[in-house]
A and B are shown apart, each in its own frame.
Chain A
Amino acid sequence: MLNMHAYFIVSSLLFALGFFGVIINRKNLISILLCIELMFLGVATNFIIYASIYGAVSAKIMALMIIVVTVAETAVGLAIVILIHKQQQHIDVTKLTRLKG
């Protein structure tokens, strides 16, 4: 079971990397998008690990679904980034604080 632990550690690391990338990133919107992708990958990896443990096909399908959703989400996210860049001429997160109280 030790190798299973290793798999889980890898998927958790992927997720944590993405998450802290979102939190610590101060500058670039696109890198935030990339970090979100990383979190998705972590989750998908998790699904695949469970699928190989229990032999469940539905989990594999779920992983595929996640990848498809991620693609769509990235497309939408990139479109937003492009729109922001058109309007503001930059994609700096620290300057996009319109909702500040």
Chain B
Amino acid sequence: MVKTLTLTMLFAPLVAAIITGLRCRTISRFFVNIICMSALTLSLISAVYLYTATATAHNIYLYHWLNIAFGLLVDKLSLTLSLLTITLTWLINIYSMRYMRDDPGYARFFAYMALFVFFMLLLLLANNLLLLFIGWEGVGLCSYLLISFWFGKKSAVFGGVKAFIVNRVADTGFVLGIIALFYYAGPVSYPELFIKLHHFSPIMVNTIGIFLLIGAMGKSAQLPFHVWLPASMEGPTPISALIHAATMVTAGVYLLLRLAPLFAMSLLLRDLILIVGATSALFLGILALMQFDIKRILVYSTMSQLGFMFAGCGILAFSSSLHLVINHALFKALLFLVAGSLSIALNGEQDIRKMGNLWRTMPILFGCFLIGAIAMSLGGVAKGHIIVSTLQGGSWVTLYAGTCLLLGAFVTALYSFRALFLIFLPSHSALDAGSKSSRSVQYSVDSTVKPRNDNNWLQSSKLNWQIFLPLTVLVVGLLIINIHTPIFSLDMLTTILGAFAAWLIYIYYQIDKIPFVNYGFDRFNNIVFVNGIKHLGNSCYQLIDTYFINDLLIKGISRQTMRGAKWLRKTQTGFLGHYAFLALIILLILMLRL
């Protein structure tokens, strides 16, 4: 029963992806909707049933290949995240029907999306690291395909390639970790692995852990590897909501949660995770303050929130991390969907400097964004728990991490309310636009918003139930999850402080000249890695390809063959006597041997 349901949940999206993907040029939108929605609904029903029905962990055996038993591990962790993934995909699928309505690649989009769900579920449900890795690379592939979905757009193609390459770099570490783990423990499923862990020496644990951590950092866009996630915003907004905010980027956190016994064994690993997470939480949060593209604000905040989750794993607050993963998936999906709706309503505009005073025309989106921003600043009970337990850690590392996280929470509130105020409240640009001619860029908000003032955009064909149903469900889900958030807590304090600071800065004093920095990671990567690898590739080309392979091997072999042939053909004299003599000699030799 469990096996059937799990397989249904896993393979229904794959079937939908294959059907729609193979016929994507000819299939009609109606059939795409029917196939994808029915597959996802089937998957969703199975997931809900499994979630409510299974209390214990099931290790489902699937098949044997190369002496490795592949199977699915159905337990609370994988089921929770699977349910989350499918629910969000289901909602975002509905949303995408509206968002992608006029796109020529309609069927292709939904095929990729269904394929993504399959790989994500495979990642979550896999019972050993090899199967997880298949899912891991699969979601990476789908992410690449969806980022460069509009392949006519140069920046989208670059973004996709960048995401793919940065992920491959991090995956190198991941693969090495898996190899090391298999070398020491054999290709076993997680429960057996955790039993074998006790025989591991600390050095082994540290080595494996660091390699796996590199993989997790790449997928979750933590500090050295974060450069790919902002580039991924070139894809369609539903994809940003689903893949690059809610599900795929949390795969790194899932890896930490899944291998929690491994990472909990070593203090070094815990401290590393804590430092990486806390540093990302603060410094990537600060970057969000300098963005003007709404999607980029949200994506930097995603990386910052992922930093909080990492930090939670680093101080062994795994349940808080998981809680934050779920919470983050909901509010970030909500915020991205609001951003997408805004860009539909404003004819593709994403620059928050050109928005303002939209709360009167778009009250529902305002409410959704407000709830999302508050939820992001609060982070449920989990974020406060993570911060407090980090601060209580009692070492230099935890002190540093705790400070970073506390400031990060403040910055979170600051940038979420900054976005909220600049988009929806009557900001400076809308108020005194007439007096400040220098802000003509911001002034254009009137031209984009005013028309919608007249013909009441809610009734216009631009936004419909396909947009509002997912928003409503997400808001309700957020409220249900966060119903127990305490009123008086550290988060509430940082949230209020952050909101007040945002109001002070952006509404009252109207400071918008924040210097733009991005810590030079992209430049550093360009100079050191891109140029370095270019030079390396060039010299390899010169030395290995041109000199060694071409001149020495290919031309050399042909030249030596010619020379040898020229020498050998002299033996063919054409005289019968010579041949007969040779035959005699050979005959004598053979007779001597006999």
Contacts and interface: CB of A to CB of B under 8 A. Distances in A.
Interface of A: 19, 22-26, 32, 93-94, 96-101
B527 to A, nearest CB: 60
B581 A23 contact: yes
Nearest to A93: B576
Q: Which 9 A-B pairs have the closest CB atoms?
A: A97-B574, A101-B569, A101-B572, A100-B574, A23-B577, A23-B581, A22-B580, A99-B574, A23-B580
Contacts of B573: 97, 100-101
B586 to A, nearest CB: 13
B584 interface: yes
A101 B571 contact: yes
A101 B567 CA distance: 10
Contact of B572 (A23, A25, A100): A100
B30 interface: no
Contacts of A98: 574
Contacts of B575: 93-94, 97
Nearest to B578: A23
Contacts of A97: 573-575
Contacts, number: 34
B434 to A, nearest CB: 98
A22 B584 CA distance: 11
Interface residues of B, number: 13
A32 B576 contact: yes
Nearest to A25: B577
B484 interface: no
A6 to B, nearest CB: 23
B411 to A, nearest CB: 84
Contacts of B576: 22, 32, 93
Contacts of A100: 572-574
B570 interface: yes
A82 to B, nearest CB: 18
Contacts of A19: 580, 584
Nearest to A100: B574
A16 to B, nearest CB: 10
28 contacts: A19-B580, A19-B584, A22-B577, A22-B580, A23-B580, A23-B584, A24-B577, A25-B577, A26-B577, A32-B576, A93-B576, A93-B577, A94-B575, A96-B574, A97-B573, A97-B574, A97-B575, A98-B574, A99-B572, A99-B574, A100-B573, A101-B568, A101-B569, A101-B570, A101-B571, A101-B572, A101-B573, A101-B574
